[in-house]
């Protein structure tokens, strides 16, 4: 695993070969040890299997990765990592067991982003406490002994403010599992309640995402400002502390993107036997646009700051990119123009995110192939006044979106244009500085007029997404000067302008 990040001359030009060599050797040892009658697996086997699954998945061998993930889950269950550690273990050993299990849980949720791979671990089977910042289990407060289910159902009077950042990530990973089953795998969408009913799975997931906002500081300040305010020490971001803050914020915005994705939402409402409320569609359209923007710009901040890029960020960026692409066909020229700039930003992030993740440029190439029919795309991103089941889209040019929302398909090295040679070609374009603010191989993305509200901006009027409103003074973002808006062009290569857009 470390060979991927090593600067040692020994690995120069052959990182991938050495990664595969070491991975095969490690797997042979695990296989021999785990399936021997005389040797039982220990916690190191769980950890190693989990890491090898990441190696397989990011190198495009997702089928092998799923096998290893399944074994890792079974190994963890056989060691009873799903329950609290024995009290007679040393605090460090207890913490190791807790962190190891939640790492397995997290990977299980991340690789299940697709149409046919539901998560393996059920939340109801996780009675182990959430990860905490403390290593002294005996001295932990009640807020640090919460289970996942208890946290999600915690009464207002018992809300805790001491939840660890790792627990924030787990809470959003749990939400991701529910979003996967609901939005990507259609579990729950055929229930007795309409999407807009307060007892529907859609509403429950939305409530869980709002619940996260009560714990996280991610929405209290622009993303770049939040990093400087809470995780900067001596002018340098403390990546150890900031890592889970960034990851949980990415998962939060990704959940919002998948839950409100225009294509997935249309897939839900097509079976409705009644008219779909226009207000519901307007709100969903606004949320999709807003969180795709937040997600892309947050990832851009991580990139320009030279911070560590997780392998999963590529999928999050691709999902946001599909939304940007659809909104390039929006009626309003400002929305279309900004969406084009953000789509280019998504491609740039994937092409030049970091040369250590070979699946990044694979996803960039796949995203660039998205070319929906303009009429169909426009219909998806523009709420209509009366949507009936007979009016839903059946455009085959949109079917590629199922693949672009499938993490396994995107990572697959066997699909067209995903060969190692194609991947390596992207990296051979020349050295790339992760702190560079240039986009698209040095070409600047055109400046974008002040479309998005800044910190003091008022909420967007939901009529903005209704094509039946033709009066420019009725509903849409207006060109009238307002303290919450700016008429100055926004330069995507300027740190200050980035922070204005990130909120």
Express each pLDDT in 246-264 by its tens digit. 999 999 999 999 999 999 9
DSSP track, 173-215: HHHHHHHIIIIIS-SSTTSSS-TTSTTSHHHHHHHHHHHHHTT
Tell me phi and psi for residue 387, to 5 degrees.
-95, 115
**Residue 55 and residue 17 share a domain:** yes
% the chain with pLDDT above 90: 45
Tell me phi and psi for residue 276, to 5 degrees.
-90, 130
Vertex 360 angle, CA 356 and 366, to 5°: 155
Count Cβ neighbours within 10 Å for each residue of 340-373 and write b for 16 or more, e otherwise.
Answer: bbbbbbbbbbbbbbbbbbbbbbbbbbbbbebebe
Helices 278-304 and 262-269 pack at an angle, to 10 degrees, of 150
Tell me phi and psi for residue 237, to 5 degrees.
-70, 130
Q: Quick one: pLDDT at residue 387?
A: 54
**Residue 181 and residue 77 share a domain:** no
**Residue 242 and residue 102 share a domain:** no
- Would you report the helix, strand and coil content of the chain in percent, each value rounded to 5? 55, 0, 40
Q: Quick one: pLDDT at residue 448?
A: 32
Give the other-Cβ count within 10 Å of 252's Cβ.
26
- Rounded to the nearest integer, the mean pLDDT of the chain is 78
Give the other-Cβ count within 10 Å of 13's Cβ.
7
Q: How confident is the model at residue 487 (pLDDT cuts 50, 70, 90)?
A: very low
* pLDDT at 183 exceeding the cut of 80: yes
Q: Are 258 and 206 in contact (CB under 8 A)?
A: no
**Residue 425 and residue 302 share a domain:** yes
Identify which has the larger pLDDT, 377 or 16.
Answer: 377
Considering the domain boundaries, does residue 455 fall inside one?
no
Q: Give the chain's end-to-end CA distance (angstroms, integer).
A: 35
Q: Shortest CA distance to 31 belongs to which of 16, 43, 45, 14?
A: 45
**Last residue within a domain, chosen from 434, 457, 492:** 434
Q: Quick one: pLDDT at residue 415?
A: 77
DSSP state of 448: B
Q: Quick one: pLDDT at residue 16?
A: 75
Mean pLDDT confidence for 261-280: 84
Identify which has the larger pLDDT, 305 or 160.
Answer: 305
Q: Quick one: pLDDT at residue 445?
A: 36
Flag the least confident range among 133-142, 220-229, 248-257, 333-342: 133-142
**Residue 7 and residue 110 share a domain:** yes
Q: How confident is the model at residue 160 (pLDDT cuts 50, 70, 90)?
A: low
Report d(CA 153, CA 481) in Å as an integer: 44
Identify which has the larger pLDDT, 188 or 110.
Answer: 110
**What phi-psi label fits residue 298: left (phi over 0), alpha (psi between -120 and 50 degrees) or beta?**
alpha
**Residue 58 and residue 112 share a domain:** yes
Identify which has the larger pLDDT, 460 or 366.
Answer: 366
Q: Quick one: pLDDT at residue 467?
A: 36
Report d(CA 83, CA 77) in Å as an integer: 9
Q: Quick one: pLDDT at residue 341?
A: 96
**Residue 211 and residue 125 share a domain:** no
- H or E segment and range at residue 326: helix 313-327
* pLDDT at 452 exceeding the cut of 60: no
Q: How far is CA 52 from the centre of its chain?
A: 21
Q: Which two tokens stand for residue 276?
A: 């779909």
* pLDDT at 460 exceeding the cut of 60: no
Q: Quick one: pLDDT at residue 95?
A: 93
**Residue 164 and residue 109 share a domain:** no
**Last residue within a domain, chosen from 434, 469, 491:** 434
- H or E segment and range at residue 255: helix 239-260
**Last residue within a domain, chosen from 434, 452, 475:** 434
Q: Quick one: pLDDT at residue 429?
A: 46
Considering the domain boundaries, does residue 485 fall inside one?
no
Q: How confident is the model at residue 324 (pLDDT cuts 50, 70, 90)?
A: very high
Considering the domain boundaries, does residue 344 fall inside one?
yes
**Residue 235 and residue 167 share a domain:** yes
Report d(CA 189, CA 389) in Å as an integer: 15
Helices 165-179 and 239-260 pack at an angle, to 10 degrees, of 20
Report d(CA 42, CA 78) in Å as an integer: 9
Q: Quick one: pLDDT at residue 458?
A: 32
Residue 413: C-alpha distances to residues 21, 312, 357, 400, 409 (Å) = 18, 16, 13, 17, 9
Q: Which residue has the tokens 């694979």?
A: 362
Write the pLDDT tens digit of every residue in 18-62. 888 888 888 888 888 777 777 777 899 999 999 999 999 988 888
Q: Quick one: pLDDT at residue 358?
A: 83
Vertex 101 angle, CA 98 and 102, to 5°: 85
Q: Which residue has the tokens 């305010």?
A: 229
Considering the domain boundaries, does residue 183 fall inside one?
yes
Considering the domain boundaries, does residue 497 fall inside one?
no
pTM of the shown model? 0.82
Which range in 21-35, 83-97, 443-457, 487-501 is most confidently predicted, on average pLDDT? Answer: 83-97
Vertex 19 angle, CA 16 and 21, to 5°: 110
Residue 304: C-alpha distances to residues 21, 242, 294, 436, 438 (Å) = 33, 15, 15, 6, 9
Mean pLDDT confidence for 90-114: 95
Considering the domain boundaries, does residue 213 fall inside one?
yes
**Residue 247 and residue 362 share a domain:** yes
Considering the domain boundaries, does residue 430 fall inside one?
yes
% the chain with pLDDT above 70: 74
Mean pLDDT confidence for 164-183: 95
Considering the domain boundaries, does residue 457 fall inside one?
no
Q: Quick one: pLDDT at residue 260?
A: 95
Q: Are 392 and 379 in contact (CB under 8 A)?
A: no
Report d(CA 126, CA 121) in Å as an integer: 8
**Residue 170 and residue 110 share a domain:** no
Q: Quick one: pLDDT at residue 420?
A: 45
Flag the least confident range among 221-225, 228-232, 314-318, 441-445: 441-445
Task: List the domain range (segments joined by +) for residue 221.
Answer: 160-434
Q: How confident is the model at residue 497 (pLDDT cuts 50, 70, 90)?
A: very low
Write the pLDDT tens digit of every residue in 219-240. 888 999 999 999 998 889 999 8
Flag the least confident range among 85-99, 339-353, 415-429, 472-486: 472-486
* Domain count across the chain: 2
**Residue 191 and residue 274 share a domain:** yes
Flag the least confident range among 23-32, 142-151, 288-297: 142-151
Tell me phi and psi for residue 384, to 5 degrees.
-105, 160
């Amino acid at each position: 695993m470390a060979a991927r990040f090593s600067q040692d001359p020994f690995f120069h030009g052959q990182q991938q070969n050495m990664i595969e060599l070491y991975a095969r050797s490690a797997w042979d040892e695990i296989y021999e040890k785990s399936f021997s009658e005389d040797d039982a697996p220990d916690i190191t086997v769980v950890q190693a299997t989990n890491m090898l699954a990441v190696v397989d998945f990011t190198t495009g061998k997702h089928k092998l990765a799923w096998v290893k993930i399944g074994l890792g889950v079974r190994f963890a269950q056989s060691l009873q990592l799903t329950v609290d550690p024995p009290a007679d273990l040393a605090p460090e050993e207890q913490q190791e067991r807790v962190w190891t299990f939640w790492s397995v849980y997290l990977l299980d949720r991340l690789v299940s982003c697709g149409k046919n791979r539901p998560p393996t671990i059920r939340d109801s089977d996780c009675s182990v406490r959430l990860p905490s910042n403390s290593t002294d289990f005996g001295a932990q407060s009640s807020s640090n002994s919460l289970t996942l289910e208890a946290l999600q159902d915690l009464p207002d009077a018992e809300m805790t403010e001491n939840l660890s950042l790792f627990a924030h990530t787990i809470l959003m990973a749990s939400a991701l599992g529910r979003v996967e089953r609901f939005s990507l795998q259609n579990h729950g969408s055929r229930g007795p309640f309409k999407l807009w009913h307060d007892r529907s799975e859609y509403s429950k997931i939305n409530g869980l995402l709002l619940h996260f906002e009560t714990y996280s500081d991610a929405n209290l300040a622009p993303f770049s400002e939040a990093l400087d305010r809470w995780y900067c020490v001596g002018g340098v971001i403390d990546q150890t502390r900031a890592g889970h803050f960034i990851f949980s914020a990415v998962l939060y915005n990704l959940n919002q993107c998948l839950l409100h994705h225009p294509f997935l939402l249309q897939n839900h409402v097509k079976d409705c036997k009644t008219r779909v409320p226009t207000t519901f569609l307007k709100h969903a359209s606004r949320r999709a646009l807003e969180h795709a923007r937040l997600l892309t710009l947050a990832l851009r901040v991580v990139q320009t700051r030279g911070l560590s890029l997780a392998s999963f960020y590529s999928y999050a960026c691709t999902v946001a990119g599909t939304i940007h692409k659809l909104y390039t066909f929006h009626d309003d020229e400002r929305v279309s123009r900004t969406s084009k700039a953000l789509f280019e930003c998504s491609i740039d992030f994937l092409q030049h995110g970091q040369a250590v993740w070979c699946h990044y440029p694979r996803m960039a190439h796949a995203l660039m192939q998205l070319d929906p029919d303009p009429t169909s795309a426009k219909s998806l991103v523009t709420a209509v006044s009366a949507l009936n089941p007979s009016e839903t889209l059946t455009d085959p040019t949109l079917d590629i979106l199922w693949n672009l929302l499938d993490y396994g398909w995107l990572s697959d090295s066997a699909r067209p244009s995903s060969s190692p040679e194609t991947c390596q070609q992207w990296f051979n374009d020349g050295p790339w500085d992760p702190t560079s603010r240039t986009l698209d191989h040095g070409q600047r993305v055109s400046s974008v007029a002040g479309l998005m509200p800044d910190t003091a901006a008022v909420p967007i009027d939901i009529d903005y997404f209704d094509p039946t409103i033709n009066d420019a003074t009725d509903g849409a973002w207006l060109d009238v000067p307002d303290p919450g808006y700016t008429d100055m062009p926004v330069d995507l290569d300027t740190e200050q302008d980035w922070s204005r857009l990130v909120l």
